[in-house]
Amino acid sequence: MKHMEKYWIDELNQMRQCLLVGEGIELTSHAATRLSERNIDPIELGVVLMTGEIYESYDIGEYVYKGKPNRHPVRLVIGKSQSKVLSFVVAIDSPSTFAVVTVYEGVVARKKADIDNFR
């Protein structure tokens, strides 16, 4: 939701700070599995978090996964690591606690035309 956009930079900076200190950000088992299946190095995920940007936002109940709506606000982070464009979904559990929900290479098809600047 675009109405949350004014908070994105603060949220992203808080995620980055959590990554730098090594606490407050975690991978779900689903995200860890996807990293392995998709041959994405966790370091690449860190690079994207440090250099990418929040591109989409979903309020509670708007992001449905396996038929269940999200219980926390969710952000889609997109960025470039080496030669790959990576996207990952982060749930905001609290202002200083984040969970990476899933990770994939590329972008969702409906947004592809909008983010050619990542290539």
CATH number of the domain residue 93 falls in: 3.30.2310
Residue 115 in this model has a pLDDT that exceeds 50? no
CA distance 10 to 16: 10
Cβ count within 10 A of residue 48: 23
Does residue 119 have a pLDDT over 60?
Answer: no
The string of pLDDT tens digits covering residues 25-68 is: 999 999 999 999 999 999 999 999 999 999 888 888 887 777 88
The pLDDT score that the predictor gives to residue 15 is: 94
CB 57 within 8 A of CB 8: yes
What is the count of structural domains for the chain?
Answer: 1
Residue span of the structural domain in which 49 resides: 2-118
The pLDDT assigned to 112 comes to 44
pTM of the model: 0.83
Q: Cα angle at 72 between 71 and 77, to 5 degrees?
A: 130
Model confidence pLDDT, tens digit, residues 72-112: 889 999 999 888 899 999 999 888 899 999 999 988 644 44
Q: pLDDT averaged over the chain?
A: 85
